[in-house]
Amino acid sequence: MTVINSREETGRYIFEVAGEFNIYSAVQLKDELLGLLGSHKQLEIDLGAVEDFDSTGVQILLLLKREAQRQGRSLAFIQHSPAVREVLDLLNLVAELGDPMVIPLDARGGRP
């Protein structure tokens, strides 16, 4: 089961995805997260409570990032769980979808 919890911290809107972020929750998450993106100029998506993550989740994150750029909105993915970090590492997408505070890269774009 997947749940999206929201909170506001010093003017920042943070939405935490908890549970599965995979093919089984894709339709629900895609619709909900695109709706949130459309209603907030600045948005942070907290991935710290994601327990299962697959390539469908990656596709949704890439879609959200593209839509945010198209709409001129600010979007950040934060607090990546180990499941999310593992998939992003495997697919070499840390630079594209990683949180630089959690998953730092060196000058060459690799792990320190």
Domains of the chain with bracketed CATH: 2-97 (3.30.750.24)
Q: What is the mean pLDDT of each run of 10 residues along the chain (112 residues)?
A: 90 93 95 94 94 97 96 94 93 82 53 49
Asked whether 37 and 15 are in contact (CB, 8 A), the reply is no
Give the per-residue pLDDT at 78. 93
Rounded to two decimals, the pTM is 0.85
Burial (CB < 10 A; 0-12, 13-18, 19+), residue 101, is exposed
